[in-house]
Amino acid sequence: MADIAVRPAETDAAEARIDLGALTPLLLGKWGDIRLEAREMIRDESFWRIEGQPYLEHRERVLEQLKKLADLGAGARAYPAEYGGRDTQGGNLAGFEELGLADPSLQIKAGVQWGLFTSAIFQLGTKKHHDRWLRDCMAMKLPGAFAMTETGHGSDVQSIATTATYDPATEEFVIRTPFRGAYKDYLGNAAKHGRAATVFAHLITGGVDYGVHCFFVPIRDEDGENLPGITSEDDGPKGGLNGIDNGRLAFDDVRIPRENLLNRYGDVAPDGTYSSPIASPGRRFFTMLGALVQGRVSLDGSATWASALALKIAVTYGNQRRQFDGASGGEVVLLDYANHQRRLLPLLAQTYAQAFAHEELLQKFDGVFSGAADTDENRQDLETLAAALKPQSTWHALRTIQESREACGGQGFLSENRLTGLHHDFDVYATFEGDNTVLLQLVGKRLLGDFGRQFQGADTKKLAAYAARQGASKFFHGAGLRQLGQAVADFGSTARSVEHGLRGDDQHQLLADRVQQMVTDVGTRLNASRKLSAVEQQQAFNDNQVELLAAARAHGELLQWEAFSDALAGIRDEGTRTVLTWVRDLFGLAVIERNLSWYLVNGRLSAQRASAVSRYIDRLCLRLRDHAQDLVDAFGFAPEHVRAPIASGVEQQRQDEARAYYADLRSSGAAPTPEKKAKKG
């Protein structure tokens, strides 16, 4: 391997320093006290995952951990004080997100119990349901499953097949699974531990299907035996999260009292008459599902902190592990290699962007669910924001954990260093609580809706004028006019390219222009298909789906960049703000670099400035190299949270021992003569 160059001493990089005492609280956010409270709880080794533990034993361990968390009050944070809760919505999710540091299986089982099962009762039920079940759910006296997904229908909840048919003669609902594909599947607590389930089914009364509603259905007795009409199956070992007893449920004409309908948004009178405060079936359905958006919000944060943990391990190891002789004669620390910086530091920059974007999402969630800012518009914005950010962070977690594993070499492949286990456990985060691709389609449709509203009631002349402007814009960019201006201004200088086109405002314009142009292109094509048949319109949408999903991802990246910039504006310490500005720029330019083909094809960047993007990223990585350890230390993890030997100082001890050994050998005169030197002699 070629020797690396000695790092230049850049004055600004040498002088700027991060104030960890100020940065860590900023990353922990508004509910940092609850995050720290949760972290203190899980410093107890009884909460830690045992690598390699058989899955049946792992399940029972996680069950006992969950009961212990309940005893410590962790299951009560979101619920009203009158039931023994703490009435904090944002704080509840902040505390939940920290549990992945102990064991992701514990985190998700807690999410099933308190974030899905109990939350469905609280959000979709009314006071009679709260009085009857909330306290026992919070205390883990009533473990439950959240039975929405079916084997045949995952993200398409409207098409589930389970039915709940009302029988006015007995004032009961009859829950029925009509065929094998309608089994409720992948449900935590369903294989063994759950005693009840919140079951989503089509409510049918008087021969009319009123759409999907939620019902409280007992499934097991006190001894853990299935109740009559209940079939349960075990999903068995999975690719990860094997501390959770995922399983399937089926219902063979199971009868439940009318009062077990969670009736906040729809009710049935004793005679079978249906009523709802929301007249529109579509709006009613999305309101009920929107009440459960917290799962997506919490996974966005959980994935971000998992990325932070992986980078804490990889950067710490990279700062200590030495490999290959350098020009000075000694072995070189891994993080001094340009490629090592390139593989880890842009991921670290995105993790920071996600942390700041998640904090905004969490505050938006708290405003809606606390009632302080609960409007239809805010709920729609919350759902779109969660759908935009959750795919970004969960995909990023998988990419970051894998890259961190590879950056740690063979040590990263050892289970004791946690990276392989994290990858297995976080794999499914990209699928549950909304498949990432489906969520991005939701975002894309919202963007198209906003685009279309610009032209409501517009006459043909206005639309023609808009189309002409778009054509002129494409001609302007495509003709190379802006490219020529860039080339003249740059004069072949990376610094000049940055000064005249890659600073913060320029990054924002490039990121925002891409979203606007992509949505405009798709929207214009779909608008042209409005007069076609329904089949042709569907084909037109399908033809544009890939580009629409790309626009939705670009929108999420723009939101993260803007959140990072907003956070920078609130940092008072000059050194911290300087370093984090470099981190923000690294994130923004890395996004642009990933999409250089779009910027080149659409004439937004010249070839010369596109090349400058990559060169400046290299410079930023070099500039941030000496701040990398501070940036990962700022996450505030204690040794009990990291629990990876290679990030504990053990590697530094090994390196120091090896260097001392060879130094002593040389000074003793007993060192053998290298063959090349012997031949020269």
What is the average pLDDT across 511-524? 94
Domain contains 101: no
**Which pLDDT score, from 0 to 100, does residue 459 have?**
57
Beta pairing, strands 196-205 & 208-218: antiparallel
- What is the C-alpha separation between 355 and 359, in angstroms, rounded? 6
pTM for the structure as a whole: 0.93
Indicate if the pLDDT at residue 458 is higher than 90: no
Q: How many CB atoms lie within 10 A of CB 600?
A: 15
Domain membership flag for residue 536: yes
For 3-17, 304-318, 485-499, 569-583, which range has the lowest pLDDT when averaged over its residues?
485-499
Q: What pLDDT is attached to residue 490?
A: 45
501 domain-assigned: yes
DSSP string, 190-210: TTTT-SEEEEEEEEEETTEEE
Domain assignment present for 664: no
Question: Is residue 231 included in any domain, yes or no?
Answer: yes
Kindly indicate the confidence band of residue 624, based on its pLDDT and cuts at 50, 70 and 90: very high
pLDDT value at position 4? 37
Q: Of 280, 307, 331, which residue sits at a domain end? A: 280
Q: Name the residue type at position 89.
A: Q
Domain harbouring 218, CATH code: 2.40.110.10
Give the Cα separation of 146 and 118 in Å (integer): 9
Last residue of a domain, one of 620, 636, 667: 620
Residue 638: predicted pLDDT: 98
pLDDT at 451: 86
CATH number of the domain to which 561 belongs: 1.20.140.10
Q: What is the pLDDT of residue 460?
A: 54
On average, the pLDDT of the chain sits at 91
pLDDT (0 to 100) of residue 3: 33
Residue 298 falls inside a structural domain: no
3-state secondary structure of 648: coil
Structure tokens at 369: 């669910």
pLDDT tens, residue by residue, 581-595: 999 999 999 999 999
For 490, the 3-state DSSP assignment is: helix
* pLDDT reported for residue 482: 38
Looking at the chain, the whole-number percentage of residues with pLDDT higher than 70 is 91
Across 83-97, 402-416, 520-534, least confident range: 520-534
Domain membership of residue 413 (yes or no) is: no
**122 vs 471: which has the higher pLDDT:** 122
Tally of domains within the chain? 2
- CA nearest to 68, candidates 91, 86, 44: 44
Of 635, 614, 624, 619, nearest in space to 581 by CA: 624
Task: Convert the pLDDT of each residue in 360-369 to its tens digit.
Answer: 999 999 999 9
Window from 217-231, 565-579, 654-668 with minimum mean pLDDT: 654-668
**Quick one: average pLDDT of 427-438?**
94
**159 belongs to a structural domain:** yes
pLDDT confidence bin for 446, thresholds 50/70/90: very high
**Burial class (CB within 10 angstroms; exposed 0-12, middle 13-18, buried 19+) of 307:** buried
Residues 465-498: tens digit of each pLDDT: 665 555 545 444 443 333 434 443 444 455 555 5
pLDDT cut 90: percent of the chain above it: 82
Domain that holds residue 174: 147-280
Which of 620, 642, 674 finishes a domain? 620
